[in-house]
Amino acid sequence: MDENKLIDGKKIASDLRAETAVKVEAFKKDFNKVPTLAVVLVGEDPASQVYVKTKTKMAKEIGMDVEDHFLDTSVAETDLLKLIDDLNKNDKVNGILVQLPLPSHIDSRAIIDSIDPIKDADGFHAVNVGRNSIGGELLNETFTPCTPLGCYLMLKKSVADLKGMHAVIIGRSNIVGKPMAQLLLEESCTVTIVHSKTRNIEELTRQADIVVAAVGRPLMVKKDWIKEGAIVIDVGINRVDHPENPGKTKLVGDVDFDEVLSVASAITPVPGGVGPMTIACLLKNTVDAAIRQQQ
Ligand code: NDP
């Protein structure tokens, strides 16, 4: 494998966590407080439990506090809104993360929009979405969703100037595709978003200098979808049967890594690409929130 082509998410995330740890230390000294993230998890979805555990571990490793609020699947929406209200008012809490998805009887948008925008570590509140969309100076007052922010920071490690590049983003979700498009537009990329209703996706991706795949379909993006020399960011996390170990599973992305490696100039692996960056960006957003709350 050509190691030079790998965008090492683990390493870039580790560097970002180290930078964030420095900010945590300075915050503690300056304000005699510990930056604190409140994590709200409803139900027992195993994947969500793993994410939350990892986020908590990494936050503690860089000196932050984490307050866990684990609630039963049957929790009433009013009780969840009351908890968020308490966390909004609690001066010790700087960032609030509500792990998605929420059970179907709860209106996720209502819950996200009940978070005080200055504590919205995930950057999903409508006010922060609006600020990200307007861009410019408002980017200093918003929180950018962690996964696209992580992708963006990895891209910036590969290309100093993204201006004029054609980026094709596969997927238009509010948590990845749309905010990714805004970040790249802000960098003066030409941005195309494709989705499940797009015709001839491959024709569009073949024109791209940058492809960001955020779909949730294992190994969908093949070698002949990618222009020679393009940069490929794979957001997908898909658990599939292990080809060599019957009964076992493994994680793969939305990109057929083994095929695409031969044409891409740079590519993120799964695991070890976007995943670690998402968590590092959550910690960055939480400390930035803590600092902003003191201003
Ligand atoms: P969503 O399911 O919310 O969105 C998927 C998007 O892909 C939709 O816009 C959908 O189109 C589009 N899509 C589905 N099928 C096709 C297709 N055949 N061709 C083209 N587009 C298609 O997913 P998320 O954005 O939340 O997540 C995407 C992937 O990224 C998942 O694998 C998820 O696990 C992973 N993920 C990884 C994270 C990380 O930290 N690494 C964080 C968040 C997500 P339409 O809108 O038309 O339905």
| pTM of full prediction above 0.85 | yes
* Tokens found for residue 60: 């503690």
Q: Does pLDDT of 122 surpass 70? A: yes
Does position 288 have pLDDT exceeding 70, yes or no?
Answer: yes
Ligand 1 atom closest to the CA of 177, numbered from 1: 25
Can you tell me which residue has the tokens 């860089």? 62
Cα–Cα dist 247/239, whole Å: 13
Q: CATH number of the domain at 32-116, out of 3.30.70.520, 3.30.950.10, 3.40.50.450, 3.40.50.10860?
A: 3.40.50.10860
Return the pLDDT at 142.
Answer: 98
Alpha-carbon gap, residue 50 to 62, rounded angstroms: 19
Report percent pLDDT > 70 for the chain.
100
Token pair 């968590």 is found at 279
Per-residue pLDDT at 238: 95
Q: How far is ligand 1, taken at its centre, from the CA of residue 177, in Å? A: 8
Beta-bridged to residue 252, according to DSSP, are 238
Determine whether 99 is an active site residue.
yes
Question: 171 C-alpha vs ligand 1 centroid, how far in Å?
Answer: 5
Mean of pLDDT values over 197-214: 98
Let me know if 55 is a catalytic residue: yes
Nearest C-alpha to atom 31 of ligand 1 is from which residue?
A: 216
Q: Check residue 101 and report its DSSP letter.
A: P
Q: Which CATH number fits domain 146-275: 3.40.1440.60, 3.40.50.720, 3.20.20.70, 3.10.20.30?
A: 3.40.50.720
Structure tokens at 188: 């003066």
Say if ligand 1 is within 6 A of residue 268 CB. no
Q: Is the CB of 238 under 6 A from ligand 1?
A: yes
Contact 37, 258 (CB under 8 A): no
Strands (E), the chain: 36-42, 65-71, 95-98, 166-170, 190-194, 210-213, 231-234, 238-241, 249-252, 266-267
> Is the minimum distance from the CB of 195 to ligand 1 under 6 angstroms?
yes
Closest C-alpha to 84, from 73, 98, 74, 66: 98
Residue of 55, 119, 178, 284 with catalytic role: 55
pLDDT in tens, 10-64: 999 999 999 999 999 999 999 999 999 999 999 999 889 998 999 999 999 999 9
Select which of 23, 65, 99, 254 is catalytic.
Answer: 99
**Average per-residue pLDDT for the chain:** 97
C-beta 261 within 6 A of ligand 1: no
Please list the residue range(s) of the chain that carry CATH number 3.40.50.10860. 32-116
Is ligand 1 within 6 A of the CB of residue 177?
yes
Q: What is the pLDDT of residues 78-94, one digit of tens each?
A: 999 999 999 999 999 99
Which pLDDT belongs to residue 1?
A: 67
CB 236 near ligand 1, within 6 Å: yes
The boundaries of every CATH 3.40.50.720 domain in the chain are 146-275
Does pLDDT of 2 surpass 80? no
**Which is it for the CA torsion 293, 42, 170, 9, positive or negative?**
positive
175 lines ligand 1 (CB under 6 A): yes
Token reading at 42: 């409803």
pLDDT digits (tens, 9 = 90+) for 252-277: 999 999 999 999 999 999 999 999 99
pLDDT for residue 106 is more than 90: yes
Q: Which atom of ligand 1 is nearest to the CA of 215?
A: 7
Q: Which of 173, 178, 200, 211 should be mutated for ligand 1, with most atoms under 8 A from CB?
A: 173
Q: What DSSP string describes 213-276?
A: E-S--TT-B-GGGS-TT-EEEE---EEEE-SSSTT-EEEE-SB-HHHHTTT-SEE--SSSSHHH
Find the mean pLDDT for residues 129-139: 97
Alpha-carbon distances of 217 from 15, 50, 176, rounded to whole Å: 30, 21, 15
